[in-house]
């Protein structure tokens, strides 16, 4: 079953997964998911952390490869820089900003290990400088985005992709006296009761999987990230391709 397969795959420990991943984009994402668990980040924060990491990786790589439009940074292309070094530095700089209390075990070890794999030279130096600048710009742009107050509604937070939070307003829910409302309530009861006679085994496993989203997990946003990582690995995506995929998902 699909849900059972996903649960099995995602049960792999994140540090071990990071060691086995082929590119720096996936490695930084696994390090981030591990940091979210270790620091008990709230689901409210997880979505922002995942978006910031992957947008920084995407913009750092794109500033070198120039295949797509940059998301947010104002920076001149550096075609002779190492895109991999840029991604290494961007990921480290963003995650150090998001988790300043990190003891160095996860962030610094990944940073220095990945840099050691890149030959020294101007391309590497330019890539590092580029990645740092991209990350600093993104962190600076989002410094006052409204997420500092845990009690704010999402409608009060600066969006990543929309012009404003209310750009695409949803219709109101059905009236409580309507037939639609009654049908929805009854469906929720029928599917949600402990010994439901209408819920399928797949639906039960899917519900259990997506309910694993509280503090101490990497939340639903992390689940989407891990699924995207798995797909990227199966499709053998390059750093640039995976960075774009995860930026769009994030």
**Token reading at 114:** 């990945």
Using an 8 Å Cβ cutoff, are 83 and 114 in contact?
no
Using an 8 Å Cβ cutoff, are 39 and 53 in contact?
no
pLDDT at 202: 96
User: Cβ neighbours of residue 219 under 8 Å, at least 6 residues apart?
Assistant: 36, 43, 46, 47, 213
Would you place residue 153 in the very low, low, confident or very high pLDDT band (cuts 50, 70, 90)?
confident
Using an 8 Å Cβ cutoff, are 28 and 91 in contact?
yes
What's the whole-number mean pLDDT along residues 198-225? 86
pLDDT at 149: 64
Lowest mean pLDDT among 9-23, 90-104, 220-234: 9-23
**231 pLDDT more than 60:** yes
pLDDT at 115: 96
What's the whole-number mean pLDDT along residues 27-41? 91
DSSP calls for 130-168? HHHHHHHHHHHHTTTSSTT-TTS-GGGS--SSSSSTTSS
Q: Please state the pTM of the whole predicted model.
A: 0.84
pLDDT at 4: 40
**3 pLDDT more than 70:** no
Using an 8 Å Cβ cutoff, are 134 and 60 in contact?
yes
Number of H helices, E strands in the chain: 11, 0
Higher pLDDT, 13 or 219: 219
């Amino acid at each position: 079953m699909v849900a059972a397969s996903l649960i099995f795959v995602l049960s792999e420990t994140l540090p071990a997964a990071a060691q086995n991943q082929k590119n720096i984009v996936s490695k930084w994402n696994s390090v981030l998911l591990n940091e979210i668990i270790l620091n008990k980040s709230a689901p409210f924060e997880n979505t922002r952390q995942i978006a910031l990491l992957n947008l920084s990786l995407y913009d750092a790589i794109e500033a070198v490869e120039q295949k797509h439009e940059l998301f947010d940074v104002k920076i001149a292309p550096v075609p002779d820089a190492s895109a991999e070094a840029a991604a290494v530095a961007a990921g480290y700089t963003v995650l150090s900003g998001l988790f300043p209390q990190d003891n160095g075990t996860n962030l610094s070890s990944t940073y220095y290990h990945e840099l050691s794999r890149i030959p020294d030279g101007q391309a590497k130096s330019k890539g590092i400088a580029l990645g740092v600048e991209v990350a600093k710009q993104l962190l600076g742009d989002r410094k006052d985005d409204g997420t500092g107050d845990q009690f704010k509604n999402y409608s009060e937070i600066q969006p990543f992709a929309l012009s404003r939070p209310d750009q695409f307003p949803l219709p109101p829910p059905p009236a409580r006296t309507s037939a639609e409302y009654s049908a929805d309530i009854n469906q929720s009861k029928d599917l949600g009761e402990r010994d439901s006679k209408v819920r399928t085994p797949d639906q039960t496993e899917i519900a259990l999987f997506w309910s694993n989203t509280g503090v101490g997990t990497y939340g639903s946003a992390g689940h989407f990230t891990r699924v995207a990582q798995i797909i990227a690995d199966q499709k053998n995506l390059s750093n640039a391709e995976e960075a774009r995929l995860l930026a769009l998902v994030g």
